[in-house]
Every structure is written in structure tokens, then in C-alpha cells.
Structure 1
């Protein structure tokens, strides 16, 4: 969506773009796996433990957090107290598996939009991602040669969840280069301070 908005519309007041494990060329099998994960549990969960089990089933190599409370930021609670993923389930009605170059997120359209991007860009890819391959990342970098590129080791498609401190550090470094006055990074905890 960001690639299309910034590559097809008149210039917007954006100073940079961070793309996380996404590019015009995505791997069909990985995208299908994400959509299938998102479609599971349409009735929600009874507890955070059930949520943690669902995440572990999707990503068995990811170390389970010692405290499942951190998962709450990804959830909403309904009137009956059941926990649901924070995304709108109607979104999945429009989810596209990139098997053909058609629809809103067709590869040719995304390539054209990416090729028009002039603002600073950071592409972050999880080393073990099954959604964005190295070949897909390199295709984007050929379209946007000024983009910066970071591969986060020991991370899959859920880069921020798998390696949050390293992911946050990469984003903060990118922002710092955009405008050193924009943020101040505390070296001990890397929190943003105005």
C-alpha cells in the first residue's frame, strides 16, 4: 500500500519509507502460509496461552516469551471476553496470493510504483523469511537502487517479533540518518525521545 501510494500519487510529505519483509515479488508459498495463519481461529481465543500456542505452531523456531502479556498488543477483546487478532477479518476477503499479475497488488503495478520512489527507503528482510526471498529483495533494490537494505539474522517473516531489538535498531539508525535532530536514541534502551 505504501509503495503504491508513494509511487503513484503526487509527492506526499513523507521523509522516508521502511518496508518490512515486503516487495513487489513475494513468495507464493510463504504468503499462503501467512493468510492461512490469519484465517485460523475465526472465533478467537479463550486465553493468552492459546494465542501463544497458535504463534508457536506458526513459527516453531521462535523462542516463546517468558511472559505472554506482550501478545496483548496484537489482540482485541470482544464483549464476551474472547481474544481476537487486532486486524479486521474482512481484510482477509481481499488477501491476494501472488500467483498472477492482476488485482490491486499486481506485480507489474508494484514494480512501476517502486521504480518511481525517490524518497529514502529502508528494506528489512528476515533472513529465514518464506515471504520475501533474497531474489525478491534484489529485484526491489534494482528498481530502487538508492534503497538501504538490512537482513536480520535469526528472523523470519515476523521480523520485529523475532528480533525486536535488532529490528528497532535498524529502523532508528535509518531515521537518525534522515534527520539527526528528529530523534535522540538512548544507547542503553534505544527508546525514542523527542
Structure 2
């Protein structure tokens, strides 16, 4: 029996752990909840799982599509200690979510930060059997044996351009308040030119889940303290992290698609080419007129990702 299309996702949550205690991570879900073929879509630094609405609608008959709000964003809890707003904590949260979903096959779409989380998770999963031979997959020891299918890295890679990082860092922690939703839309459009061209409805859709109304004003729908660990990155720490990410990238065994905005200031063309050279399972598609990052809302972007994920 075919599953009917839905235009609004289901909202659920999972309890995750940090050194400070438990927190709730919300996730949006499309498609048949009994489908054990899962597509996990993870958003960028200040965004939410609702960024993937159009992609999820296009794939809901093929997957159980799950789009979490990473902790500190959207409908998820905020962390007690902002030092936890880092990739290792996000990876741990995704492990908890994947254990809840128990997929027979897991595909991944990660935009910007979501791609780094996926790379960290896949790298840990690849290394785990070497470090912990013979450990049970979902039992009392070891990292989960994640049944990877395919991965999509949306405008992200192991090496990040510092100019692009500085541009993002300039606005992440700003406490801005707007008197109307349209003013919030105008602001999102002003700092997100890299998203490429969108009509008025598109910009409204890209705003409605990252701003919310509070006491008559429209404020950012994320914990502004996510900027704190972002600002504390030293050149030495970034160099060490880049080396680890390249090591993980080089050993990814699954088919990989790198999606790049042709004018991206975060994933440079040279880096994307190096990614393809270093991993024989990877290929790249670029979209003209787009920077950081393709929103996966345009028909050609959705089609490219869908074609890759559903290829034999």
C-alpha cells in the first residue's frame, strides 16, 4: 500500500546526554515511520531541520526522512554549558537519535555544520572496529555499527576558508530584535546572499523557523551562546581538526556527493577538487549563482540529491 504524501512533518524528540545532564533534541519526520530506510538531514550552524522541507517532501515515499533541530536551535533544548556547542557533542546526540531510529540503511545529507557532524560520525564509525574489535553493534560496548548507505556533503569539507568563517562569525551571536516578521525576512536575506536567488515566499520560508515571535518582537530561534565556542577557535586547534577531518574523509567507504555553490566562500573550489582526488567514492556537483550554501530548495538542487541517493 502506498503511503500518502504529507505537507507538514511530524514532530518528535529524543533525550540526549551531555556532561551537564540530559537535554531534549527535537526532530521533524516525514514519510512512513515504519520504513527502516532512513535519510537523516542535518542543518547548518544557525538553521533548523525545517530547512529540508522540500527535499523531504521529494523523498518521503522512498525514506523515513528525519530532520533534527541540533541542540540549541529551533524546538530543541538549550545546553546549560555553552562549551557543549561543538561537533563532538552533536555527534553524540546523533548516535542517540540513530539508536532510536534503528535503521536498516542510513543515508545522510549534511549542510555546512551538518556535513561536519556527518563526517565526524562516519569517521568515528569507520575507526571503531579497528579500535574495538569484536564489540557488539548496539550492545553494551563500542560505537554503533551504523548501516551507512550514501552521504551528501552540502558546501562543506575538511578544510574551511577563514574568510567565510569570519563572515559567519560576524553575525552568529548578534542579539537582534525586529518589530515585524518582514523585517526579520529582510535581515535573513541580507546575511544569506550565498543562498542564491529566491522569491518572496522562499525567503519567508527560510526565515519562519529561525526567527520566532517573543513579547511582540521577532527574535532568533537559537541560543546566541553557540557563538562562544565558535569564537574561541585558535589557528592551532583548527589545523589539528582539519587533519582529523581529512583522515576521516580519506577513509569514507560509501558513495559520497559533494554539493558546492560555485561562488562559495567556505568550501573553495580547490578544496572540493582535492576532496574528489583523495576519495575515489566521491563526486561533485556545482550550482552557479549560489554561494554558501545551496538551500536544496531549487528544483535542480533537489533533483541532483534525489538522483544520487536513489541511484542503484
Give the shorter-chain TM-score range.
0.7 to 0.9
Length, aligned pairs only: 176
The within-5 A match list for 1:108-187 is: 108-160=243-295, 164-177=298-311, 179=312
Larger relative CO (CA 8 A, sep 6+): 1 or 2?
1
Structure ranking higher in strand proportion = 2
Counterpart residue number, 1:4: 120
Which residues of 2 match residues 59-78 of structure 1 at below 5 A?
59=192, 62-63=196-197, 65-67=199-201, 68-77=203-212
Q: Counterpart of 1:16 in 2: which secondary structure?
A: strand
For 1:25 and 1:87, how far apart are their aligned partners in 2? 26
Give the 3 Å change call, closer, same or farther, for CA 118–166 of structure 1 in structure 2: same
Q: Which moved more, 1:51-60 or 1:115-124?
A: 51-60
Aligned to 2:188: 55
Q: Secondary structure at the match of 1:168?
A: helix
Shift of 1:159: 0.8
Give the Å deviation of 1:99. 6.6
- For normalisation by structure 2, the TM-score amounts to 0.50
Distance in 2 of aligned mates of 1:97 and 1:104: 14
Alpha-carbon distance change, 24 to 79 in structure 1, aligned in 2, over 3 angstroms: same
Q: Which residue of 2 aligns with 1:183?
A: none
- Per-residue deviation, residues 69-118 of structure 1 (Å, max 9, x unmatched): 31344324254243334443232222268772426971101011111110
Structure 2: gaps of 5 or more residues? 1-116, 129-144
Q: So what's the TM-score if we normalise by structure 1?
A: 0.77
2:10 corresponds in structure 1 to none
Instruction: Show the counterpart of 2:163.
Output: 29
1:146 offset after TM fit, Å? 1.5
Measured in 2, the distance between the counterparts of 1:50 and 1:38 equals: 17
After superposition, give the CA deviation of every residue in 1:29-88 in whole Å (9 maximum; x if it has no partner): 011112223233x14333222122213322458445223531344324254243334443
